[in-house]
Amino acid sequence: MVETLFSVDISKAYDDWSLNYDDAQNPTRDADAIVTRAMLQGYSFALGLEWGCGTGKNTSFYSSICDSLTASDFSKGMLDKAKEKTYPGKVEFKEGDILAPWDFASASLDFVACNLILEHVPRLHPVFQETVRVLGRGGMFFISEYHPFRQYLGKSARFEKAGETIHVSAYVHHLSEYWQSVKENGFEIIDLQETFDADVEKKPPRLLSLLLRKK
């Protein structure tokens, strides 16, 4: 069963959020940046794809470990912000929907990343299917997402607009769904991390991060 938390239009919400996404306090965004760099430090890839690039929060790092990177998001507002920045490597920005057919040939990529985007996808399996299709053998898939244990408490992506808290539409993906998607699509788990806040005794983990390899 797919569990929906909120029903605010996702694309419009992120267009609005783009106006202060980089400047507003956001412990999830900051923790995601830290764990992403820690888990992928030392890796390098030829061709990479970043889904949910947003304002480019991780794009700079991904472009430093990929010879060529495609950074995609379904929010024009977010992409416009990302394009204003400079990057250490070659980056092509594309507006795109992770749920639409991917415009990449089979086995054409070495690396795919999803950061803080899968909570907005109804089902994980189609994303895993496209990822395994576009990756060559041994290709890596990195996932860093809001932890389902937090979602069980009603937490989700949210931001402030004109004094109002906007909760963006989100779906709960249980750990068992991640495991089934990994197993059924021929991936192996290279690393798995859970990111906790400082007061770990009082709160569930904030992030679930997976580094997978196509067998």
First to last CA, the chain: 29
Contact predicate 5/156, CB 8 Å = yes
Return phi, psi of residue 33, to 5°.
-60, -40
Q: Check residue 57 and give its pLDDT.
A: 94
Check whether domain 3-214 has CATH 3.40.50.150, yes or no: yes
Domain spans in the chain, listed from the N-terminal domain onward: 3-214
**Interstrand relation of 164-167 and 45-51 (parallel, antiparallel or unpaired):** unpaired
Which residue type occupies 27? Answer: P
List of residues 6+ apart from 68 with CB closer than 8 A: 46, 47, 48, 89, 90, 92
The number of angstroms, rounded, from the C-alpha of 33 to the middle of its chain's C-alpha atoms is 11
- Sheet containing 135-146, strands listed edge to edge, beginning at the edge strand earlier in sequence: 90-95, 66-73, 45-51, 109-115, 135-146, 207-214, 187-195
Ranges of residues in the chain with a pLDDT under 50 are 1-7
Q: Check residue 209 and give its pLDDT.
A: 98
Q: Check residue 155 and give its pLDDT.
A: 86
**What angle, 0 to 180 degrees and rounded to 10, lies between the N-to-C axes of helices 10-17 and 76-83?**
30
Beta strand extents in 109-203 (DSSP E only): 109-115, 135-146, 158-161, 164-167, 171-172, 187-195
CA distance 185 to 199: 36
